[in-house]
């Protein structure tokens, strides 16, 4: 790759990564801080706000395969620009909500954006541009967006203190239009659809073995669902969880701020060291880190809260990359966007259940609720062990790509 091409790809990664940071901060990480004031103002309980958020995740799960297919066909640029507009409409509607029906409707609109504008869409856009060479670009985007909570939570807190929760929603909507659209508009236009020429099955991934593909897809779907349940539960309840473990509110907020940098550290490890091994091996390693952190937190409480946040963040950071790279390596780039949407459908449902279900467990069991997420993490690790490693190396092609 020439220096000019390398610089152009780095610019694409930076633009898309920054746009993803904005989108995650203004949607996924919003309820953790705005649910309580929003519920108080609308005359409902906080779980009702999380129920609306869960509905948004269900909508995103249903829409994911269709958005992925659109990206496969037209590229990520037009889809992601449209998503910025959808996010702005949904956030504006949320700020204008005068009761539960309007709030649920606004979250449904935001759910449309989440189904076509978060990681799965970004990964599909990169695969559409770079094919099987997209692994490093996927990692690069997650390095940027790994700071979404680190940047988003403090900014949301600042906006909420100055303008209230409604003004915060309006501000995020404006940022989607003023910053998000130009960033996504700067992405390269996808060229003509590539022609994928199959190679002999002995050299191919599961794309050439449909009889094994279904089993692999089911395992991946379970792994993604189990790990996303845990990450979503932490995103929604981490400060309260740490307080249940004996930490003060100030300490809980400080420890929570470590998750974002730990995610980025894990992704740097993937980018610098683990990229030399098969993504399946790095995913197995990463799947063990959050259960280990959860076990330590249950046993020792607040004194190891920072270690828990680092282990959880690092594991989650690497697993986020695995969600993009494993389907690419195991199935190849053809139809990646639609397949990714299908594989991530159960994960979106798990996300939808996580804030509500883990909240119930936290109320009943306190910090011991982490035993549930630890068990899910261990189950994901076992499932990855059941996934046979293909004979080809990560760089091997399941299909030769010929640009038309």
Reported as a single tens digit per residue, the pLDDT across 103-155 is 999 999 999 999 898 988 898 899 888 887 887 888 888 888 877 877 888 89
Residue 193 has what pLDDT?
Answer: 54
CATH topology for 195-402 is Growth Hormone; Chain: A; (1.20.1250)
Q: Taking the domains of the chain in order of start, what are their residue ranges? A: 3-185, 195-402
Residues in the chain where the model's pLDDT stays below 70: 1, 191-212, 388-404
Q: Is the dihedral of CA 304, 308, 314, 317 positive or negative?
A: negative
Helix/strand/coil for 191: coil
Asked whether the beta carbons of 94 and 110 are under 8 A apart, the reply is yes
Residue 403 has what pLDDT?
Answer: 33
Tell me which CATH code domain 3-185 carries: 1.20.1250.20
pTM, two decimal places: 0.78
Closest CA to 90 of 75, 105, 100, 77: 105
Closest CA to 84 of 187, 152, 173, 159: 173
Match 């991934």 to its residue by tokens: 205
């Amino acid at each position: 790759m020439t220096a000019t091409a390398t610089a152009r790809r780095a610019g694409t990664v930076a633009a898309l990564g920054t746009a993803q940071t904005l989108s995650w901060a203004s949607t996924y990480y919003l309820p953790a801080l705005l649910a309580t004031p929003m519920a108080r103002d609308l005359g409902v309980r906080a779980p009702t706000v999380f129920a609306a958020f869960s509905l948004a995740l269900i909508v995103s799960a249903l829409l994911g395969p269709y958005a992925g297919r659109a990206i496969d066909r037209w590229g990520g640029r037009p889809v992601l620009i449209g998503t910025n507009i959808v996010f702005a409409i949904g956030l504006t509607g949320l700020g204008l909500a005068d009761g539960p029906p309007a709030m649920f409707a606004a979250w449904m609109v935001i759910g449309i954006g989440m189904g076509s504008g978060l990681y799965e869409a970004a990964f599909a856009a990169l695969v559409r541009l770079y094919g099987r060479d997209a692994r490093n670009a996927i990692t690069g985007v997650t390095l940027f967006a790994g700071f979404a909570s680190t940047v988003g939570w403090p900014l949301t807190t600042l906006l909420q203190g100055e303008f209230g929760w409604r003004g915060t929603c309006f501000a995020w909507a404006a940022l989607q239009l003023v910053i998000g659209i130009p960033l996504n508009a700067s992405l390269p236009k996808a060229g003509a659809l590539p022609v994928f020429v199959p190679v002999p099955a002995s050299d191919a991934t599961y794309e050439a073995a449909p009889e094994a593909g279904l089993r692999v897809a089911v395992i991946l779907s379970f792994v993604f669902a189990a790990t996303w349940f845990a990450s979503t539960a932490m995103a929604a309840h981490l400060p309260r969880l740490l307080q249940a473990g004996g930490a003060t509110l100030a300490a809980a907020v400080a420890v929570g701020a470590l998750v974002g940098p730990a995610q980025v550290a894990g992704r740097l490890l993937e980018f610098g060291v683990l990229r030399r091994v098969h993504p399946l091996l790095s995913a197995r390693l990463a799947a063990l880190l959050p259960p280990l952190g959860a076990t330590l937190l249950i046993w020792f409480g607040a004194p190891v809260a920072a270690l828990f946040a680092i282990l959880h963040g690092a594991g989650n950071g690497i697993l986020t990359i695995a969600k993009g790279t494993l389907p690419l390596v195991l199935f190849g780039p053809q139809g990646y966007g639609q397949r990714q949407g299908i594989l991530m459908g159960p994960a979106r449902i798990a996300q939808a259940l996580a804030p509500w279900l883990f909240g119930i467990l936290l109320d009943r069991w306190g910090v011991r609720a982490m035993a549930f997420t630890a068990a899910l993490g261990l189950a994901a690790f076992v499932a990855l062990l059941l996934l046979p490693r293909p004979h080809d190396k990560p760089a091997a092609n399941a299909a030769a790509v010929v640009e038309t």
